[in-house]
Structures are given as C-alpha cells and as structure tokens.
Amino acid sequence: MRKPKRATAAKAKKGRTTSGSQSKAAPKRSAPARRRASADDGGKEAIKATIRGLRTKLKGALRRVSELEAAADTDFLLDIPNRRGFERELQRAIAYMKRYRASGALIVLDVDRLKPINDSFGHGAGDEVLKAIAATLTRQIRASDVVGRLGGDEFALLLWNLSETDAKAKAVIFEQAVDELSFVFRGQHVTAGASAGVALLGPQSDAARALEEADAAMYVRKAHRRHEPRIRLVSS
C-alpha cells in the first residue's frame, strides 16, 4: 500500500510544477485588446501620413511664394530687376558698404530716342530696342554688378569698387555701347543713343538720395547731347 502513496505524492508534485509553469507564462491578450492595439497603430500611421502631406504642401507653398516674389522684382519684358528689385539690391549694397567700408557707383542711363522710335515704328520696335540695350549693358558688367530697369526708357546700374574717375569712364563706355547699336525697321536704319549720370556710393550713402543724384547728373548729360538728332533714319 506504500507504493500507491508514493505514486500519489509524485502526481501531486507534478501537478504543482505544471501549475507553477503556467502561472509564470505571459498572459495572452484577448481579441478586443489586439484590435485596440491594431487600431492605435493604424491611427499613428494616419497621423504620420497627414504630417508628410502637410509638409509637402508647405514646401510647395513656400516655393510658390519665392517665385511670386522673384516675379514681383523682375521686369517681365527684359528679365532684369525692375525698379522694386533694383532698389532692393541698392539698399542691400549700401548696407554692406556701411558694414565693411566698401564703395561703388550708381549709374542711371536714359535712352535718348525711344519715344520717336515708338511713334514712328510702334511699341514692338521700341521693345526690341530695349531688349538690345539690356543685353548690351549686361555684357558690359561683372557678375557682382547689377543692371535694372527703373521704368520706361530708364536703366540703372550698380557697380562695385569704382573710383569717381573709373565710374565716369564706365558711364561713357555704356553710352558708346548703346550709341553703336543699329536697328532696321521698315527698311530704315535707326539708332537710339543713351545718356548716363553717375553717383558715387559709400558707407554714408542713402539709396533714394543716390538715385536722385544720378538722375540729375543724367539730365545734365542729356542736355549736352541735345545737338544730336532726335532720331536718325537712313534709307537702306
């Protein structure tokens, strides 16, 4: 009868061991808990996708803003800075000069005979003259310089590190380059010509005042050139 007792004791021990093992095992999540976890994961992914979409839209909006700002500062006909864009560049340049004690020159250049060309051959001819002048001036300057259109037949050039003598000599070069341009409209050769005025730039300069000085100097120069014909037409 003792052997059955030992067998019973062994079974009891085995039962305790099995019960202990089951108690140590991690409890399994119920089906509702698993569904809630899955829903939470799906919600997080949706939020991340929304954030990515918003960031993409923000980048596109910022790019569009930059494009619109650039367009607002650019002359649509000549693809150079307009008055707004040029004045901004001039103000930045003067701020730099004030900080680093640099210098430069501002040249305002006015086309002498654009109105007669427009009146005789139409505004399409005048636009062609303006485009040629803008291209000529751009070829005459350095990469650090700026040429812009202030409006109508008036251009402006921002030149770095020039003395008064060099700036005036440069203005003459610009005049000569424009004077040498020749156009043919309706079988007639036409020249436009230009007059340039100079204002020096430095740490004490003011953008508005510099434009006024260069503009006044340009009109003085234009008065000296009035002996030239308003428009020269030579049959081809």
- Residue 153 annotated as catalytic: yes
**107 beta partners:** 157, 198
DSSP state of 74: B
The whole-angstrom separation of Cα 236 and Cα 231 is 15
Q: What are the Cα distances from residue 233, in Å, to 110, 127, 130, 228?
A: 20, 18, 18, 13
Size of the chain, expressed as the number of residues it contains: 236
Instruction: Return the closest-CA partner of residue 109 out of 162, 164, 78, 151.
Output: 151
Cα-Cα-Cα-Cα torsion 15, 20, 21, 22, nearest 10 degrees, comes to 90
Q: Which of 153, 166, 179, 215 is catalytic?
A: 153
In which residue are the tokens 């636009």 written? 127
Instruction: Return the closest-CA partner of residue 211 out of 93, 62, 100.
Output: 93
Catalytically active residues, by annotation? 153
